[in-house]
Amino acid sequence: WFFITYTLLNAVFYTANNIAYAALTALITKNRAERVQMGSIRFIFAFGTSLTIQTVTVGAVQAMGGDAAAWRNMAIIYAIIGILSNSLAVFSVKELSPTELAEGDSEAAKDDELSFLEALKLLGNRYYVIIVVCFILMQFFTATLNMGIYFMTYILGNANLLGVFAWAINIPLIVGLLVTPLVVQKIGRMQPVTIVGYVVAVLGR
């Protein structure tokens, strides 16, 4: 049951949600600086939410009885909040028109003309491989974070340490995201900033 649910959550629902959500910055504006800023703001809220959840969840579950039903009720509360926030994004964000997106970009028009089979052939390029490798590494990274509650409860013997763990993980990330637009603007390119960021993250792990 857990395997099926977890696979559906990550491989189906998360993918369907996140591909559309992650593509929004490229569809809202053609200004690179604005895209970097929106990306930073997006992840500041993401890590801030993660910090909040990891800080309050254990206490809230204990307040509701600390049993399996309490964990289920907490999950339902988070699910409702997630539905509301996603719905807000769906109904309030406006994309640029196809004409505006294609202006000055002849390659975009060519991409629209590709057949499904032609698009599949493009998956062998090195950038796609890099994205796949990064995604797999990100899944391992996320898994280590998600094991936090298990580690604090059964290894360290104190579930309340999850809050401290969350602050140690998320506050540096939020600070880093706050300065990212300034760093990118100073360097002039996103790629070296991304590479250094990944190296720092791996060392931190």
User: What is the 3-state secondary structure of the chain?
Assistant: CHHHHHHHHHHHHHHHHHHHHHHHHHHHCCCHHHHHHHHHHHHHHHHHHHHHHHHHHHHHHHHCCCCHHHHHHHHHHHHHHHHHHHHHHHHHCCCCCHHHHHCCCHHHHHHHCCCHHHHHHHHHCHHHHHHHHHHHHHHHHHHHHHCHHHHHHHHCCCCCHHHHHHHHHHHHHHHHHHHHHHHHHHHCCCHHHHHHHHHHHHHHC
- pTM equals 0.59
pLDDT digits (tens, 9 = 90+) for 123-172: 778 888 888 887 887 777 777 777 888 888 899 998 888 888 888 888 88
Confidence category of residue 22, pLDDT binned at 50, 70, 90 = confident
Query: What pLDDT is recorded for position 106?
Result: 52
Residue span of the structural domain in which 56 resides: 2-204
Work out the average pLDDT over 8-28: 84
Total structural domains within the chain: 1
